[in-house]
């Protein structure tokens, strides 16, 4: 080779190298000019009704979920993750909006029309994929992701739902095993089990996986947010025969079920959790657990089937150019009971219904790790924003899991919360489950010693400190039911609950007192208002008579409220307005705003919470002289109570804290179990023999957070 040739080659090589460096700098400049292009993709995998019966969580020894287990082996498995509502609709509404059910008021399945999309303040334009779309991502959604919100609105490119719950053997009356009694006047279920159809490709989940694989295989100029939702193991438990064959009936492990499991559950806990149209315990366990065995086999078959579909999608990612630049999150919207607590369903505040698989794998991650901190699906929204470098969203009520991804033992919240119906909550800590019902009844379970939640410790004095600390973690308010909630009840308790909360009631709420009649009032045993109570000049008036007329109560029960009213009382008089009134055995009791013709002394003075809390002595307040009226307010928000008089807050208390319990124990109410912890109750006007007037009574819902600094 000539020297000139070598020289020309060297020059050519230098030119090529210079061009490569210049192009590289252009690429770096382009990436710096377009930071979105450098952000990771997101694959969000949602599974319906999958409890902890997956291999990596150890919920059932026969479970076959190699692909979900394989994903857990690559990233962080949260072993103490829980849904925020034990139903598809409210759980997904919470996860996708980043807001708790007790904040939005979406506690039950939402209507499709107008649906959640009709609420622009919380849902429309605010959902997780919509946020990503506004920040430069191309969003794809297919299968079951939303519930009560159109997929085509939630995602820029929607694949639809591919046939809902899947093919059926006939109309709703054709069942393989379980045929519900359709005459029962409550909402029903698709619950049934058996091998059907004859091939995977007829199943919506197979179609959803194929659609997701197609999207992954496309060329993407911008980072993508891809959500794929699988229906199984949602009922009906139908999948092809080959999946049933994996679980022979003669070697199947059945859940451990205690026949007396509900004996120490409070009455409201049993009634709230009733499901009359669902499979019942005796039917499931008859003939040596025949139907329970078939049901468990079918559920395991469905989990194996859906795991296979998950595997197909994961394989597509691994074989794509996006393998090392994709965040993967897998979750279930809630758990499921398979005989435990005498039920085959979700719809509960117990562990089987709230615990869910939750796996987070960051780009390039290949190390199996676990975290036992109490986390929730509410945390997915802020976590994905954090992992993708997007600005935090102030409205999100969950927390980013990134600190736990970095250090599983990092400082974290004490508990995560699940809500089923307004004012019914379960808290799950690292060790305990605490359930608080709207009437103040409680359950407490120690998972360290009782993983099946068989022994309710709420009445055990040895666990009182734990009980008090958990009460303090309950929400300070419970939003009223959002109009989008469907008003169809699953049982008699919810029918009454909906009526009391005016769900589905079109007409406005009647006033507590309209200034004209006592139509909203009655005696505590339901009889008409007795003689002696009357309406004069727009005021309720109790005449002073030789024989007392007796107390009267409202026909309606009230939850959180702000009640304002004006009153005056005759000289030497003693009366009171009670609230949260209900029966305790043979006694009708409630908290009382004490009313006297003078200030009085201590816990029996005007404005006190009678017999429990005296007004604040530091407040300089006075009563108006007779016959002028005084102005009062009673504010009840969750467990917080305030009494106001003539423009000043004079008394406040927290129901259920240590000071409250000590005062109740030393008072005339000590024998009333759970006194005043009920979140709903009637109002009562008392008759203590004094002439008294009430007017301008105005009841408003207290749908604001309790102002700890309000004066």
**Calculated CA dihedral for residues 307, 308, 309, 312, nearest 10 degrees:** 120
Residue 110 to residue 97: CA distance in whole angstroms: 14
| Counts for the chain of helices (H) and strands (E), in that order | 16, 30
- Nearest CA to 703 out of 641, 654, 648, 638 is that of 638
The partner residues of 143 in beta bridges, in order of sequence, read 229
Beta strands in 531-586 (DSSP E): 533-536, 539-542, 552-554, 561-569, 574-584
- Are 663 and 543 spatial neighbours (Cβ–Cβ below 8 Å)? no
541's tokens: 């008036």
Q: Which of these is catalytic: 56, 83, 88, 388?
A: 88
Integer CA distances (angstroms), 316 to 158, 231, 313, 365, in order: 19, 20, 5, 17
Residue 186 to residue 531: CA distance in whole angstroms: 41
Look up residue 598 and give its DSSP letter.
S
Residue 443 to residue 422: CA distance in whole angstroms: 17
Q: Is 249 helix (H, G, I), strand (E, B) or coil?
A: helix
| Ramachandran area for residue 244 (φ above 0: left; ψ -120 to 50: alpha; else beta) | alpha
H helices of 486-632, where?
492-500
H-run or E-run covering 5: helix 3-33
Look up residue 452 and give its DSSP letter.
T
Beta strands in 424-490 (DSSP E): 425-428, 432-436, 442-446
260-294 exposure pattern, b = at least 16 Cβ within 10 A, e = fewer: ebbeebbebbebbbbbebbbebeebbeeebebbbb
- Are 401 and 407 spatial neighbours (Cβ–Cβ below 8 Å)? no
Sign of the CA dihedral running 85, 91, 95, 99? negative
- Nearest CA to 439 out of 589, 223, 599 is that of 589
- Are 643 and 591 spatial neighbours (Cβ–Cβ below 8 Å)? no
Residue 598 to residue 69: CA distance in whole angstroms: 71
Q: Write phi, then psi, for 215 (nearest 5 degrees).
A: -65, -40
- Nearest CA to 334 out of 92, 97, 61, 65 is that of 92
519's tokens: 């139509």
**Calculated CA dihedral for residues 230, 232, 235, 236, nearest 10 degrees:** 110
Residue 558 to residue 260: CA distance in whole angstroms: 34
- Are 122 and 104 spatial neighbours (Cβ–Cβ below 8 Å)? yes
Q: Which of these is catalytic: 60, 67, 147, 322?
A: 147
Angle, CA 651 vertex, CA 650 and CA 654 arms, to 5°: 150
Is 147 a known active-site residue? Answer: yes
Q: Is 364 helix (H, G, I), strand (E, B) or coil?
A: coil
Angle, CA 394 vertex, CA 390 and CA 395 arms, to 5°: 115
Q: How many CB atoms lie within 10 A of CB 158?
A: 20
Euclidean distance between the first and final Cα of the chain, in Å? 96
Look up residue 337 and give its DSSP letter.
E
Residue 336 to residue 87: CA distance in whole angstroms: 10
- Mind telling me the catalytic residues? 88, 147
């Amino acid at each position: 080779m000539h020297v000139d040739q070598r020289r020309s080659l060297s020059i050519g090589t230098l030119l090529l190298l210079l061009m490569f460096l210049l192009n590289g700098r252009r690429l770096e400049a382009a990436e710096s000019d377009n930071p979105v292009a450098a952000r990771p993709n997101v694959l969000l995998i949602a599974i319906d009704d999958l409890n902890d019966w997956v291999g990596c969580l150890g919920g059932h020894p026969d479970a076959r979920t190699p692909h979900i287990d394989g994903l857990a082996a690559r990233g962080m498995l949260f072993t103490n993750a829980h849904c925020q509502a034990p139903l598809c609709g409210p759980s997904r509404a919470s996860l996708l909006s980043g807001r708790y059910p007790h904040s939005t008021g979406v506690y039950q399945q939402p209507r499709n029309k107008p649906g959640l999309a009709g609420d622009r303040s919380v849902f429309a334009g605010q959902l997780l994929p919509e946020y990503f779309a506004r920040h430069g991502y191309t969003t794809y959604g297919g299968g079951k992701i939303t519930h009560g919100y159109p997929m085509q609105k939630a995602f820029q490119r929607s694949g639809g739902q591919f046939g809902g719950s899947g093919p059926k053997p006939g109309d709703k009356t054709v069942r393989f095993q379980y045929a519900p009694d359709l005459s029962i006047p409550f909402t029903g279920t698709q619950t049934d089990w058996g091998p059907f159809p004859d091939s995977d490709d007829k199943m919506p989940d197979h179609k959803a996986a194929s659609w997701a694989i197609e999207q992954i295989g496309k060329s993407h100029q911008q980072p993508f947010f891809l959500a794929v939702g699988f229906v199984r193991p949602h009922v009906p438990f139908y999948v092809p025969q080959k999946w049933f064959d994996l679980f022979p009936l003669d070697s199947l492990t059945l859940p451990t079920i205690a026949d007396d499991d509900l004996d120490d559950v409070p009455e409201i806990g049993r009634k709230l959790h009733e499901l009359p149209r669902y499979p019942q315990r005796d039917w499931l366990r008859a003939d040596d657990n025949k139907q329970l065995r078939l049901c468990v086999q079918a559920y395991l078959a469905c989990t194996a089937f859906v795991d296979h579909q998950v595997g197909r999608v994961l394989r597509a990612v691994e074989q794509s150019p996006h393998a090392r630049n994709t965040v993967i999150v897998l979750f279930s919207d809630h758990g499921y009971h398979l005989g435990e607590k005498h039920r085959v369903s979700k719809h509960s505040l117990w562990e089987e219904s709230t615990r869910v698989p939750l796996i987070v794998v960051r780009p390039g991650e290949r190390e199996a790790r676990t975290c036992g901190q109490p986390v929730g699906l509410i945390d997915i929204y802020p976590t994905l924003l954090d992992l993708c470098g997007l600005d935090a969203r102030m409205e999100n009520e969950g927390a980013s899991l990134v600190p736990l991804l970095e250090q599983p033992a990092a400082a974290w919240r004490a508990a995560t919360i699940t809500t089923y119906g307004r004012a019914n909550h379960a808290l799950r800590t690292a060790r305990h489950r605490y359930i608080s019902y709207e009437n103040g009844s409680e359950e407490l379970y120690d998972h360290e010693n009782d993983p099946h939640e068989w022994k309710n410790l709420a009445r055990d004095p040895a666990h009182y400190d734990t009980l008090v600390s958990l009460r303090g973690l309950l929400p300070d308010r419970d939003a009223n039911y959002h109009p989008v909630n469907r008003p169809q009840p699953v049982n008699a308790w919810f029918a009454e609950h909906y009526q009391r909360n005016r769900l589905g009631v079109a007409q406005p709420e009647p006033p507590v007192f309209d200034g004209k009649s006592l139509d909203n009032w009655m005696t505590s045993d339901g009889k008409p208002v007795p003689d002696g109570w009357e309406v004069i000049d727009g005021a309720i008036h109790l005449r002073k008579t030789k024989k007392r007329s007796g107390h009267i109560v409202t026909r309606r029960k009230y939850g959180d409220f702000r009640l304002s009213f004006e009153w005056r009382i005759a000289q030497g008089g003693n009366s009171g307005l009670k609230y949260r009134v209900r029966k305790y055995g043979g006694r009708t009791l409630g908290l009382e705003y004490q009313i006297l013709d003078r200030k009085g002394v201590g816990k029996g003075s005007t404005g006190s919470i009678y017999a429990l809390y005296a007004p604040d002595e530091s407040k300089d307040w006075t009563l108006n002289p007779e016959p002028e009226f005084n102005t009062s307010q009673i504010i009840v928000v969750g467990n917080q109570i305030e009494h106001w008089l003539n423009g000043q807050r004079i008394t406040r208390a927290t129901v259920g804290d240590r000071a409250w319990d000590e005062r109740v124990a030393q008072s005339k109410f000590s024998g009333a179990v759970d006194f005043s912890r009920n979140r709903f109750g009637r109002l009562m006007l008392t008759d203590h023999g004094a002439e008294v007037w009430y007017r301008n009574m105005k009841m408003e819902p207290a749908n604001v957070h309790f102002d700890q600094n309000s004066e």
